[in-house]
Structures are given as structure tokens and as C-alpha cells.
Amino acid sequence: MRTSAILPFIEQLKSAAYILIVTHKNPDGDAIGSSLGLSALLKEHGIKTCVVVEDSLPHFLMFLPQLEDVVVFNQFPSKVQEEMNKASCIICTDFGQMDRCGMIEPLIRQSKAPRLLIDHHPDPDQTAFDAMYHDVKASSTSELVSLFASEFFPETKLTKEMATCLYTGLVTDTGCFRFGLRTQTFLVASQLFQLGIDVEQIITSVFDSHSEQRLKLTGFTLLNKLVHLPEYRTAYISLSEEEMKPFDPRKGDTEGLVNYTLSIEHVRFGVFFNQKPDGTIRISFRSKGTFQTNDIARRFFQGGGHRNASGGVFSGTIEEAIQYFLSILPQYQEQLISLP
């Protein structure tokens, strides 16, 4: 845990009139869950807050309580600027590089408000923050927000709504308690559970609230677009805009698709190439064990992330992205083959 300059910041935070919470673009369950949980905590302490994010939330997060705290930059840019002007502190959640918050980055950089980072991604940009509550060993930023609450706001009452948001972050980032776990993860989960959350409702809302079309898109992808390279213990899938169109995809409909690659026996590295409406190729990397996908994302695809879950981008066609990837893969063959 790196908690640089945190104590003086907490004093400032507690006496702040208005705090802005910013999370990363293309927000996931942990980004929104941790931000809303933190927002609820600060409000319970008597501080006004607002959560800002570049683009809209996937539909499966729309069940979360306190969604009215969120302002989406793409929909209300001037409102985000207004909120930014009011903020006496900014808390950045679930990202360590400023470009991850997209078009909100310049607004944050212009603001004079001091910045705190709460995050679990490797190698945060230390120059971008005045204080950090950071731990790569944490399963999720939501886990860190729970620990932050116990450590610095022990007198503040935690509510069921707060716990619902934080538990959502925990289950989404850990794939329902499958990866990135440590003892504190379960301690935090049990504390949140004690607050009376409805776990079944959370799981149903996040994982079982999809459209029929999404399930068929998954079927189409696995049947037609899965490539298994046993000699590299790698499997990849790809989806172009054209291929997705008949399934009328909604935002978030390809979320989790990449994980199927790792369900093949012996596969340790899984990749998903996905063409976005603007034509760019988004790439998701997943691995099992010590194989560092974030190293590949950083070196070759202008991205980054965690060891076992990272992402990046490619400019060109999907075929070119795949060819480029295949040209890189041999350098990693020895490492992949020798993984347990």
C-alpha cells in the first residue's frame, strides 16, 4: 500500500465543501461502484459531491443506487465544467494515468483543486496526483474505498446503498471472486454483506440482465470467430462493426466475451479484437498466472492495465491488428509454453 501524503489530504478532504470524483472512460462496475460508494460515504459525512465520467454507463449498472450523482461529460459537458469549478478537492478513482479519463483530462489539469488518487492499477503517474491511496494488491478500487472508509472515516455510518455500489465493484473486478483475491477482499465483502445488501439482486442485475441478442452474439462469436493457437497457449476472438450489427449491440454487450478464451484447457493468454463505431480497434488482453499482458498492451498497443487484464488500441483494420499481434506473439512463445 502506498499512501503518500495522505494524512494532510484527509484533513483537507474532511473540511471540503464540495468534492468532485472522476473515474475512467468506458466505465466498468468497479469504476462506477467505487465512485458512487465513495460519493455516498462523503455525503454521509456532510460533504457535497459529484461523480463525473466521460461517457455513459453500460445498462447493467443502471440498477445502482445514487446514480443521480453521476454527470456524463458527453451528454453535459458544461455541467461537468461547472462542477469542476465548484470542487475544492478532486478524487480520481480506478485509473492511474490521466489520459484514462478522456476529455475530462484537460478540465482536471486546469483546475487548481488538489487531487487524490484511489486506485489499484500498476504504475500510477505520481506527478499527476497530490496524494495517493494506492495498492496493486487490492482486488478492486471498491475494496480500497471500503478500507479507506474504515481507516479515515471510522465514525461515518456505512449504508446499504454504499455497500451495494462497493460490492458491485468487487464482484465485477474479481469476476465473482475468481481473480485478484486476498484476505482483505473477503473481509471487505463480509463487512458489506453485513450491511444488508441483496447479493442475488446485484448478481442478477450485473450478469443476468442481458438481451437475447447479446447471448446470440456470444454464440455467433464463439462458433465462428474463435481462434485457438495451442502452440502459443493462446486463443483470440475478433468482432467487426459489420459482424455485430445484426445483433443490435448495446454498450457493454461485448463485455466479458474475452474471458471465454481462457476457459479452454491449457490456454493462458486470451485476446479480443473489437472494432468500435469510429473504426478504431480496441483490444482486450487476459491471462492466467504470471503472464504479463499489460507489458504487451503498453509496448505494442498504447495501453496498459493489470497483469492479467489489460487493454489497448490499434489504428487500422481488424485483420491488420491480428496480423500485427501474430507477428509479436513468437517473442512470448517460450514464456507461454513454460507457464504452469
Binding site for ligand 5GP (CB under 6 A): 97, 100, 121, 284, 303-306, 309-312
d(CA 256, CA 291): 19
CA distances to 10, 173, 212 from 59, in Å? 34, 17, 14
**C-alpha 292, offset from chain centre:** 18
Considering the complex, what minimum distance in angstroms separates the CB of residue 237 from Mn ion?
23
143 belongs to the binding site for Mn ion (CB under 5 A): no
Question: What is the Cα gyration radius of the chain?
Answer: 20
Which of ligand 5GP, Mn ion, none binds 275 (CB below 5-8 Å, type-dependent)? none
d(CA 274, CA 305): 17
Considering the complex, what minimum distance in angstroms separates the CB of residue 25 from Mn ion?
13
Nearer to ligand 5GP, 114 or 270 (CB): 270
Q: Which of residues 40-99 bind Mn ion (CB under 5 A)?
A: 94
Q: Which of the stretches 136-144, 150-158, 265-273, 274-282 binds Mn ion when contact is defined by CB under 5 A?
A: 136-144
119 belongs to the binding site for Mn ion (CB under 5 A): no
30 belongs to the binding site for Mn ion (CB under 5 A): yes
Which residue's C-beta sits nearest to Mn ion? 30
User: Which amino acid, one-letter code, is at 183?
Assistant: T
Considering the complex, what minimum distance in angstroms separates the CB of residue 140 from ligand 5GP?
10
Are 94 and 34 a contacting pair, CB within 8 Å?
yes
* Coil vs helix vs strand at 93: strand
Which of ligand 5GP, Mn ion, none binds 214 (CB below 5-8 Å, type-dependent)? none
Nearer to ligand 5GP, 90 or 258 (CB): 258
Nearer to ligand 5GP, 51 or 98 (CB): 98
Are 165 and 142 a contacting pair, CB within 8 Å?
yes
* Coil vs helix vs strand at 136: coil
Q: What are phi and psi of 107, to 5 degrees?
A: -65, -40
Binding site for Mn ion (CB under 5 A): 30, 94, 140-141, 173
